[in-house]
Structures are given as C-alpha cells and as structure tokens.
C-alpha cells in the first residue's frame, strides 16, 4: 500500500509554545511524523522562510447562509452553496470549521426561514461526495425566545457532526443590542426597506416572545445539550447576572461578551472567551460593544472567530502578534489549539508528532498575511 508523505522545509515553524526560526516538518499518512530544526534530512517543499503553522480551527461562522441566500428571496442550490462556501473557507486557511446554522423560524422577518436542517443535509451530501476541502462540523445557533427553537434543535442535536450549541437572545434592549437603535440600524442595513413602523412591530413581538417562551426554552435547550453531551456556548454576556447564568448552564465558551466586566468574570470562571476577528481587524465592534483589542490587551481573549468574514481569522490572529505584542505562539493558539480543544478535537490544532498534518504556509506583506499553501491531513487543498 502506498504511503502518503509530505515534507516542508526552510520554514518558520509556529509550535504550540515556541517558534523554530528555521526548521522542517514531515508528515506521513496525514499525521505529523517529525519536526526538526535547521536543514531537513532530504529535499522537500521549500517554504522560503515563510511561516508554517497549524491549519485554522473556526468555531462560529454563519457565512454559509450568505451563499445559500445571496439576495433576499434568492435561494441557491444548497449543495452548490456549501461547495462555494467551503472554497472560501479553505482559501482563508481554515481546515476545520463549525458551520453555524440558525435553528429557529421568525415569520415576522423576511428570510429567517429555519433552513438549518436543509443546510445540514447539504453539508453531509457534499462531504459524502468528497466535494469539500475543509472538514466541516455543525454549530447550532439557538435563539432562545423563538417558539420553534427547541423542536428544531431536537431534530438536529443527535447528529454525530454537531459539536457546539449556542444559547442566544437578541431581544431588543439587552446583551448585544442594549441600545435598541443599534438593532434598528442593523435591520435597516440588512433588510433595506424595513420602516420604523415595521421595526416597532418586530421589537414588540420579540419582547412578547421572550416573556412567553424565554425561560422555558432556555431550560429545555440546556437539558437537551446535556442529554447529548453537546458543549454549550453563551452569547453576548453583558452583566454579572449573565455570567452567573452561564456558569449555572455549564457553558464551555462565551461568545462575544459585550463588556470588560463580563469578560473578566467569565475568564475567572474558566469559561473560554471567544471574540470576533472582524472586530479586532477593524478595531471596533459593529454593535458598539467592547473591542476585541481591549480584551486581548487585558489577557481576556482565548479564541478568535471569523464570524462573518472568513479571511479575518488569520489576519486577526497575526495582528495580535504584529501590532499588539502577543507572542506568536499565543496569538496562533487563539485560532488553532484552543478552539480545537474547546470543540473536543484533540487530534489537531498544533504542530507536534501524532497530530493531524493540517498545515498553513503564510508570508507577510506588511501587516497583511498572504496564504501560499494549505494542507489538510497532509494533502494540499489550496
């Protein structure tokens, strides 16, 4: 039987805890076999002194939905949408991705049609047909106040590819949208045409649903996740009460806390803090909340997520090193080892013998990373 081998030489290797300024990495049958310093034992692929690091691990991106519904009321073939999205993911250096699927319906907002099951089926079909370059898992985004969310989550959570479920509540006046005007701006930009009267009706309905369904759905979703041993994420924690609730729910990851106060308390409780890479690259939250840069400076940032811009994941991580002084291994861990461990994927996320040979070769053009090659399990995909 043929043995698949890969040897990358003359590379600046980023390990979990240190950097080898000039070294080489060898892989056999999809796993890292050996790492060395200086000259490689034989000729391989010359990295030209570029950074070689683990492939990126993405825990939260809902970007797939933009490929499936590229315009209002325009629905693309779901498998074709998944393949196009996967291409963008892979060329951004992401070798493992949790596709975040919206698990709810909201009749009052156009385009929120509860297509999680359809997209999950399309992802599985593309995977089975060997059409995907990155490895895809599922992240269920559960909007707590929505009447159908528990039933829809129950239909999906037993799947073997579900790795995370997040507990979200975007009711106006709290969490991400403490300032309801920010939510109005969001919907005006997203749906172009929603009048103030439309938004008044939407906000009133959201508040009504939270009162009617919020507490019961919250308990049911936590119980469902526990029954299936699915890790939980909280979302947009703002106050110490939110942190207390997250601890009681047993969440492993806090997505996008909106205040330093909440991030400090979450971090102290051992909950990993995930922030948006677009926030870090731009220097500010699009919702006016705490900056990823501020949390990084305070030592409170554990994981970066590309959220809605796949290319921001690598860019954000390297900016943590280039502009904000974080040691390169620590910056790289926010997009490799730490998210991998948080999703129970101990076989990837670091350059060490025995781990998957998911590799990324990057050169720097000023403060802009340029991806030269991507390998997944030792096979080149970009």
97 with 15, same domain? no
311 with 342, same domain? yes
Q: Compare 108 and 8 and report the one with higher pLDDT.
A: 8
Q: How many other C-beta atoms lie within 10 A of the C-beta of residue 381?
A: 18
* Summary mean pLDDT of the chain: 90
Residue 201 has pLDDT above 80, yes or no: no
250 with 377, same domain? no
266 with 156, same domain? yes
Q: Report which listed range, 59-73, 163-177, 311-325, is most confident.
A: 311-325
Q: Compare 177 and 382 and report the one with higher pLDDT.
A: 382
162 with 293, same domain? yes
Q: Given CA atoms 218, 220, 225, 226 in this order, what sign does their dihedral have? A: positive
Residue 27: what pLDDT? 98
Domain of 141: which CATH number?
A: 3.20.20.140
147 with 161, same domain? yes
Percent over 70 (pLDDT), the chain: 90
Calpha distance 306→334 (Å, rounded): 11
Q: Which residues of 209-222 are buried (b: 16+ CB within 10 A; e: fewer)?
A: bbeebbeebbebbb
190 with 234, same domain? yes
pLDDT class of 112 with cuts at 50, 70, 90: very low
pLDDT class of 174 with cuts at 50, 70, 90: low
At residue 39, φ and ψ (nearest 5 deg) are: -75, 140
| pLDDT tens string 295-341 | 998 999 999 999 999 999 999 999 999 999 999 999 999 999 999 99
CB-CB contact of 300 with 290 (8 Å): no
296 with 322, same domain? yes
Give me Rg for the CA atoms of the chain. 21
Domain boundaries, position 160? 56-346
Bridge partners of residue 20, in order along the sequence:
13
Q: Mean of the pLDDT values across residues 227-235?
A: 96
Residue 50: what pLDDT? 98
88 with 160, same domain? yes
Calpha distance 81→142 (Å, rounded): 22
Tokens encoding 65: 């939905």
60 with 126, same domain? yes
| pLDDT tens string 332-375 | 999 999 999 999 999 999 999 999 999 999 999 888 999 999 99
Nearest one of 44, 41, 42, 37 to 12, comparing CA atoms: 37
Domain of 17: which CATH number?
A: 2.30.40.10
**Number of independent structural domains in the chain:** 2
Residue 181 has pLDDT above 70, yes or no: no
Calpha distance 169→105 (Å, rounded): 14
162 with 255, same domain? yes
The pTM assigned to this predicted structure is 0.90
45 with 74, same domain? no
């Amino acid at each position: 039987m043929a043995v698949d081998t890969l040897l990358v030489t003359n590379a600046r290797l980023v390990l979990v805890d240190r950097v080898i300024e000039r070294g080489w990495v060898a892989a056999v049958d999809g796993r890292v076999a050996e790492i060395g310093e200086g000259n490689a034992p034989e000729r391989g692929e010359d990295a030209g002194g570029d950074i070689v690091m683990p492939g990126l691990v993405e825990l939260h991106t809902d970007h797939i939905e933009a490929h499936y519904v590229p315009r209002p009321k325009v629905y693309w073939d779901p498998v074709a949408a998944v393949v196009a999205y996967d291409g963008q993911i892979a060329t951004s250096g992401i070798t493992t991705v949790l596709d975040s699927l919206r698990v709810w319906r909201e009749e009052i907002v156009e385009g929120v049609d509860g297509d999680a099951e359809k997209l999950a089926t399309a992802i599985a079909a593309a995977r089975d047909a060997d059409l995907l370059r990155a490895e895809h898992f599922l992240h269920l985004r559960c909007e707590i106040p929505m009447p159908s969310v528990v039933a829809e989550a129950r239909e999906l959570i037993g799947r073997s590819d579900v790795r995370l479920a997040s507990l979200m509540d975007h009711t106006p006046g709290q969490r991400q949208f403490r300032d309801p005007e920010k939510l109005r701006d969001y919907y005006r930009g997203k749906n172009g045409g929603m009048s103030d009267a439309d938004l008044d009706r939407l906000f009133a309905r959201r508040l009504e649903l939270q009162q009617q369904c919020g507490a019961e759905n919250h308990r049911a979703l936590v119980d469902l996740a526990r029954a299936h041993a699915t890790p939980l994420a909280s979302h947009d924690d703002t106050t110490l009460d939110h942190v207390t609730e997250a601890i009681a729910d047993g969440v492993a990851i806090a997505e996008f806390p909106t205040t330093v106060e909440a991030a400090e308390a979450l971090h102290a409780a051992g909950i990993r803090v995930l922030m948006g890479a677009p926030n870090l690259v731009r220097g500010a939250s699009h919702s006016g909340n705490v900056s990823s840069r501020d949390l990084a400076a305070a030592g409170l940032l554990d994981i970066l997520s590309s959220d809605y811009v796949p290319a921001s994941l690598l860019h954000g991580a390297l900016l943590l090193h280039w502009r904000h002084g974080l040691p390169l291994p620590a910056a790289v861990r926010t997009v490799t080892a730490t998210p991998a461990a948080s999703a129970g994927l101990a076989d990837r996320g670091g350059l060490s013998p025995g781990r998957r040979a998911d590799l990324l070769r990057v050169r720097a053009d000023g403060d802009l990373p340029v991806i030269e090659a991507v390998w997944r399990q030792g096979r080149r995909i970009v």
